[in-house]
Chain A
């Protein structure tokens, strides 16, 4: 296990550098430099030149990249053009809501994916099977924002069961029931957009595992069908599902941008869209760095879980 972990972390190093180089190149493509915000009317061209030198912008690109990386490790992402405060702070207050939304959505998607996938595999052509394929087609073919509009129309406007958007009815009270009410629609929608892949993967790997010798063996020993299903088949069928979940995390982040925007959820996705409208480049790059790193860490965690689940991977 130690050897596996070491190898996995070593693989992450080139991936990390590749990603940060790409992001650095992107942030250099964005118009305007950090110096622009500091120039005042009484500065001479020589002063501005000196400012460039002080900021290290006269250095070759690879030196600039290393310095940028150094600042990144110290947690400094620059200052927002829009609010004038540190980017880390602006992003910091958005992390919680995004984690709440994406976490709930992912949990719902996995639960629904496994339930429907197993049911569809065990009882083909049953109501469950049809519901599973229906759900996975909606997930694959209906854009989240369109479904969101339909949901808002039905449940918020016509039936008035749920609020149309936001996170609190009254921001000062922060009542948990109230947050849950606001969370329900966006989380379910984001979950639906993710669950189709999980259903299909669970279904096909369950069908594959059910044909294996050890499942036949368990049945031959006279084990109850439930035990065979859940403790022999499902545990092994979950392995490819775990991979699928890890691979879908980048899409979860993307889906969160749209969902947060539709529902006015105060997370990093809506911050991204807001920052783009204001051309607030430091925040845009900050969100990009933050989300890619988060995705990388999640991928690492998923690989570790995968190795824990399947001893064959470790060797």
Chain B
């Protein structure tokens, strides 16, 4: 009986959230856009004959035509294929980096909030140290040391992005752990781990979803920034950032916009839509949430 009641309460919380989210038109539209985009970058290479790597001899820097939908780049590769494959890389880097940050940050925040004392001090001081590092500079050094590759880019972005998750989890946990149901769990002999992961964490998750969406957007931006400096995902692998990199030459910038404008536009659209989804999620979960 009690179990049914509990499930009902939980269901209505999430159902409420979904209903509120669906009323947020911009967020819904963004979600639709992002879904279509992700499906497109996954499915298009299976459905169409796309080749992002072959350098077509004699077709250097060609304007868009029937054969090359978005033209070719300066070594004769099909820009449209690179846009699709680049999307796979950029979006994957975004999600994997954000996931890595969450996996590091959430347990640390949980430990700091639950135990307090010395553990709290050490962890939160570590957060301070990481937050006062200029992340971009450290990322550049790390990429130089590790060697540029999609994997190292994900690693360095993820490794430096966990502080947001840790702080947020910490602030949520210190209020949740005082709730009666946690006290009840403690009184009935639940171990520390059980209290943390079965009672406290699930009730602290809401703002972390919002943080995750902003984290994905920020990771995609960081990847594009690193790739734009020529220190992110290395060519010939395509990413949106290293496609825009070609526009560092003034003649490409002015005379061959098809090489960089589509990649830039889709990058902006993606990041904006993820941010809008985050906004919608925040408003649906708790409009007063400060994120």
Contact = CB atoms under 8 A, between A and B. Distances in A.
Contacts, number: 126
B137 A26 contact: no
Contacts of A174: none
Contacts of B272: 137, 141-142
Given A15-B128, A26-B142, A157-B254, A143 B228 contact: yes
A145 B228 contact: yes
B267 interface: yes
Contacts of B244: 145-146, 149
A18 B264 contact: no
Interface stretch (B35-43, B183-191, B245-253): B245-253
A292 B125 contact: no
A253 B145 contact: no
Interface residues of B, number: 39
Interface residues of A, number: 48
Interface in A269-308: 272-273, 276-277, 279, 284-285, 287-288, 291-292, 295-296, 299
B136 A254 contact: yes
A204 B282 CA distance: 15
B224 A257 contact: no
B137 A141 contact: no
B137 A272 contact: yes
A143 B144 CA distance: 22
Contact of A19 (B132, B141, B275): B132
A273 B229 contact: yes
B264 A288 contact: no
A247 interface: yes
A247 B138 CA distance: 17
Contacts of B254: 153, 157
Interface in A133-149: 137, 140-146, 149
Given A15-B125, A29-B145, A149-B264, A292 B217 contact: no
Contacts of B133: 19, 22, 250, 292, 295
Interface string A105-137: 000000000000000000000000000000001
Contacts of B234: none
Name the 5 nearest CB pairs between A and B, nearest first: A254-B136, A253-B134, A141-B272, A18-B129, A146-B264
